Amino acid sequence: MSLEALYARLTTCRACPRLVAWREQVGREKRAAFRNTQYWAKPVPGFGDPMARILIFGLAPGAHGSNRTGRPFTGDASGDFLYPALYRAGLASQPTSSHPGDGLRLEGVHITAAVRCAPPQNKPSPLELRTCANWTAQELALLPHIRVYLALGQIAHQALLAYHGLPKAHHPFRHGSEYRVGERFLLSSYHVSRQNTNTGRLTTAMFEAILERAKTLAEIG
């Protein structure tokens, strides 16, 4: 199976009733309030270089970000922080991401998330995380060149540990944590959410240092 075929199947997924109801409710309400506003309101597929050596692994689509656009970290404050950093690191063709088809290309990087549908209050349940882990397994099988996972936030970090069957107690999350997982590395960062970047918990310099470490481990010049 190709990534394209997998993502075509993914966008039809309705396995989690609460997430389906929420993502579609948000879309309906915005379309009703603003007639020119279109919402994707479906599971959001991954995006990036199919030959990527770095996988950026987020939490879930934002209700008014990628749940609206259909592309990870596009159209909200998280993307406004992430994509300029990737551009400065030489991993993206441009520093902005407003909508699919805007010309953005990623080089050496693929982006996905632990949960593919927008959850209420950005909080997926343990069952929803386990259910979406089936998509993670299929997606990672189609990205054989990945050398480094870059987890954004504790939930993403723990989801990757669960994928590899590793205990959380022996691999605690912290900003800048680094673990060997099989033949790959797991790096973790505070999430690029507005809550972290606007308060200074995550600064541009802190995130750029993580990206440079990821590039070194992935042997990207």
The residues of the chain scoring below 70 in pLDDT are 32-36
Opening angle at CA 93, ends 89 and 96, nearest 5 = 90
CATH code assigned to 3-218? 3.40.470.10
Give the CA distances from residue 214 to residues 79, 129, 138, 150, in Å, rounded to whole numbers and listed in that order.
Answer: 19, 25, 23, 7
pTM: 0.95
Looking up tokens 């009703």 gives: 32
Q: Are 218 and 148 in contact (CB under 8 A)?
A: yes
Which of 168, 66, 52, 77 minimizes the C-alpha distance to 115? 66
Which of 118, 21, 139 minimizes the C-alpha distance to 76? 118
Model confidence pLDDT, tens digit, residues 28-45: 887 766 666 789 999 999
Residues 6+ apart with CB under 8 A from 185: 147, 148, 149, 178, 179, 217
Q: What is the mean pLDDT of the chain?
A: 95
Opening angle at CA 153, ends 65 and 165, nearest 5 = 120
DSSP state of 200: T
Residues in the chain: 221
Domain residue ranges of the chain, discontinuous segments joined by +: 3-218
Q: Are 71 and 99 in contact (CB under 8 A)?
A: yes
Model confidence pLDDT, tens digit, residues 163-207: 999 999 999 999 999 999 989 999 999 999 999 999 999 999 999
